[in-house]
């Protein structure tokens, strides 16, 4: 019988608090790596903050804010090679930026414009999944395929705490475990599924305990500690490449922004807890760590932030310069064998739009 060790339940941390908790370090990470990680965090943060502004200006549609989730995203992706695949949910919509995807592409996605559809094989970044947890079986399938082909690549999928109550999560995790697919299951436990708290989601003491049910290892990390997330992901990737199958990582945080631009969390969230989280958010925490290490200084920080701000300025200009999409696309990709009524419906739509 396979022996399943109990999952690690203590939160892994590397970054100290500059006071009583000492800083740790991650073996093998150079100063260059640390700056690159910081660059990723700043790029993601800038994308997120600008997107909220663009939404308020009516330049993008409803937007799922990921403020203070950047450490989970940047830390785990940094543990991957370019040949490895990423399967995001809407919460990781801008993850492609870390693979060189232009900001204009992601902004176009949120504008509901076809310029926001990318070819997943161009970046090894799958399409954003909005139906909760549906990306998990996709990722399990791709990872299994890599194993069958004898390729070294693995897959990383992101999903939320709420997603762990979905059948698709269970099917994907179980399938990957049984097939020993090279998959990293990264749960962003921000403790809320819109207005549903974690306590209403599960009786498990910690989400990481679910790993035992699949016979796979589980790790629990501080989701706002980019170095802890990176180190855990690196271990999971090493297991995947060694043919040892999937690993479940629970990255714990507390959602410190509305679920999306359409949400008003003041009706349900613990405001004091949000204020505490915001004071200790992941980008500032890493910046202070790098400054204590003498790696980050004002000029470098300003340069990195200016690069990210430029990428966004260029991105929104390019997204807005796209000509309006042809409404025929709504029908074109719906069915391989469309009914005759589609032609009539499209004519009607064109007439209403005055085309």
Q: Nearer Cβ to ligand TPP, position 86 or 132?
A: 132
Residues contacting residue 51 through CB under 8 Å, at least 6 positions apart: 60, 63, 65, 94, 107, 110
Phi, psi of 193 (to 5 degrees): -115, 95
User: Is 214 a residue of the active site?
Assistant: no
* Closer residue to ligand TPP in complex, CB, 51/146: 51
Q: Is 255 a catalytic residue?
A: yes
Instruction: Please give the residues from 142 up to 171 whose contact with ligand TPP meets the rule CB under 6 A.
Output: 160-163
CB of 201 to Mg ion, least distance (A): 9
151 within 8 A of 112, measured Cβ to Cβ: no
For residues 143 and 171, what is the distance between their CA atoms, to the nearest angstrom?
14
* Two tokens, residue 191: 């403790």
How far apart (Å, rounded) are the C-alpha atoms in residues 127 and 171? 19
Which residues lie below 8 Å from residue 149, measured CB to CB, with a gap of 6+?
Answer: none
Contacting ligand TPP (CB under 6 A), which of 132, 173, 249, 251? 132
9, 56, 268, 292: the active-site residue: 268
CA pair distance 55, 53, nearest whole angstrom? 5
Name the residue number minimizing CB distance to ligand TPP: 160
Out of 47, 144, 192, 214, the only residue in the binding site for ligand TPP (CB under 6 A) is 192
Q: How far is the CB of 190 from Mg ion (least distance, A)?
A: 4
Angle at 228 between CA 222 and CA 229, to 5 degrees: 80
Exposed, middle or buried, 160 (CB in 10 Å: 0-12/13-18/19+)? buried
| Rg of the chain on CA atoms, in Å | 21
Residues in the site for Mg ion, rule: CB under 5 A?
160-161, 190, 192-193
Q: Which residues ranging from 247 to 286 are in contact with ligand TPP (CB under 6 A)? A: 259
CB distance 111 to 151 below 8 Å: no
Minimum distance, C-beta of residue 93 to Mg ion, in the bound complex (Å): 15
Distance CA 353, CA 355 (A): 6
Question: Quick one: which segment of 186-194, 224-232, 278-286, 289-297 binds ligand TPP (CB under 6 A)?
Answer: 186-194
Residue placing its CB nearer to Mg ion in the complex, 55 or 69: 69
In the set 38, 259, 285, 289, the catalytic residue is 259
Active site residue 268: yes
Which residue in 78, 255, 285, 289 is the catalytic one?
A: 255
* Residue 73: contacted member of ligand TPP, Mg ion, none (CB under 5 to 8 Å, by partner type): none
Among 6, 131, 167, 338, binds ligand TPP (CB under 6 A): 131
Closest CA to 256 of 207, 308, 192, 197: 192
- Matching residue, tokens 């004519």: 347
Which residues between 102 and 121 bind ligand TPP (CB under 6 A)? none
Closest distance of CB 284 from ligand TPP, Å: 21
Chosen residue from 51, 68, 76, 188 binding ligand TPP by CB under 6 A: 188
Q: Which stretch binds ligand TPP (CB under 6 A): 1-9, 146-154, 187-195, 219-227?
A: 187-195
* Catalytic residue positions, numbered: 255, 259, 268
Binding residues for ligand TPP (CB under 6 A): 91, 130-132, 160-163, 188, 190, 192-194, 259
């Amino acid at each position: 019988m396979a022996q399943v060790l109990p999952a690690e339940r203590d939160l892994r941390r590397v970054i100290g608090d500059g006071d009583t908790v000492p800083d740790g370090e991650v073996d093998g990470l150079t100063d260059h790596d640390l700056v690159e990680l910081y660059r990723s965090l700043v790029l993601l943060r800038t994308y997120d903050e600008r997107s909220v502004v663009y939404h308020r200006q009516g330049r993008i549609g409803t937007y799922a804010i990921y403020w203070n989730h950047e450490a989970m995203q940047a830390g785990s992706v940094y543990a991957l090679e370019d040949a490895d695949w990423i399967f995001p949910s809407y919460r990781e919509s801008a993850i492609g930026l870390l693979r060189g995807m232009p900001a204009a592409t992601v902004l176009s996605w949120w504008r509901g414009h076809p310029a926001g559809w990318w070819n997943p094989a161009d970046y090894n970044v799958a399409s954003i999944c909005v139906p909760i947890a549906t990306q998990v079986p996709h990722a399990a399938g791709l990872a299994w395929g890599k194993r069958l082909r004898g390729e070294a690549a693995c897959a990383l999928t992101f999903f939320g705490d709420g997603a762990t109550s979905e059948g698709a999560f269970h099917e994907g995790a179980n399938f990957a475990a049984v097939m020993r697919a090279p998959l990293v299951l990264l749960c962003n436990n921000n403790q809320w599924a819109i207005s549903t708290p974690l306590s209403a989601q599960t009786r498990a003491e910690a989400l990481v305990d679910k790993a035992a049910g699949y016979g796979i290892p589980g790790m629990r990390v501080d989701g706002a500690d980019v170095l802890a997330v990176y180190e855990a992901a690196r271990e999971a990737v090493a297991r995947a490449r060694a043919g040892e199958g999937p690993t479940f990582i629970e990255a714990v945080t507390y959602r410190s922004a509305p679920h999306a631009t359409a949400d008003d969390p003041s009706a349900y969230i613990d405001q004091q807890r949000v204020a505490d989280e915001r004071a200790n958010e992941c980008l500032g925490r890493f910046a202070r760590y790098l400054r204590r290490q003498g790696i980050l200084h004002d000029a470098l920080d300003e340069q990195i932030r200016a690069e990210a701000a430029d990428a966004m300025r260029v991105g929104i200009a390019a997204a807005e310069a796209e000509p309006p999409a042809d409404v025929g696309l709504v029908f074109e990709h719906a069915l391989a064998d469309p009914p005759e009524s589609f032609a009539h419906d499209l004519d009607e739509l064109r007439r209403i739009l005055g085309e």
